[in-house]
Amino acid sequence: MVNSTAEVFAMWNVIGPLVGVVIGALLTPWISWRWQHRQWSMDNKKQEYRDLLDGLFQASEEIIRARPQASVGINDELLLAVWRGRRVIRDRIFVARAIQRHGITEEWDVIGKLAVWEAGEEKMKIGERSWQYTANAIVILRNELDDKLRAVIQQDLGL
């Protein structure tokens, strides 16, 4: 039986470090794993965002090459470019929720719909503006999507 506070402190001086070592031995691997998992996840997110930015830029450039002006009809290369843009968005794993939450797919779909706009159709109403197909319109909408996506990236990665 412990008789005094001094004896409790003396026992704690012996037992305390052992308790600390045991707790440290149990927590250190978990903390290390958790940190490594977070780093791995962030690295994958960064790579997916880079691939998404590059893929959407490339797809929009393919749209413009396939249809440099509205007088050029809808063709297989154009439809493939629109599909590639959608595909690069849908291929995401680590950033899929952020993309969905911020409407990135819907923004690309607007670009895709404008890409297949035919002369003679009513202009597309996008926000406050009315559009018909031009390469410049695709560039403007792509730049707006790019700006929005960069803001999503900065928020998601805590930059």
Residue 1 domain-assigned (yes or no): no
Assess whether pLDDT exceeds 80 at residue 21.
no
Spatial CA neighbour of 100 closest among 41, 62, 52: 52
Number of folded domains in the chain? 1
Which pLDDT score is estimated for 149? 97
Residue 62 domain-assigned (yes or no): yes
pLDDT in tens, 103-132: 999 999 999 999 998 878 888 888 888 988
Query: What's the pTM?
Result: 0.79
Domain of 54? 44-157
Residue 75 domain-assigned (yes or no): yes
Residue 5 tokens, joined? 């506070």
Assess whether pLDDT exceeds 60 at residue 60.
yes
Residue 36 domain-assigned (yes or no): no
Residue 31 domain-assigned (yes or no): no
Q: What share of the chain is helix, strand, coil (3-state, %, to 5)?
A: 75, 5, 20
Q: Confidence class of residue 31 from pLDDT cuts 50, 70 and 90? A: confident
Residue 79 contacts by C-beta under 8 Å, 6 or more apart in sequence?
116
**For all residues of the chain together, what is the average pLDDT?**
89
Residue 146 domain-assigned (yes or no): yes
Residue 64 domain-assigned (yes or no): yes
Residue 88 domain-assigned (yes or no): yes
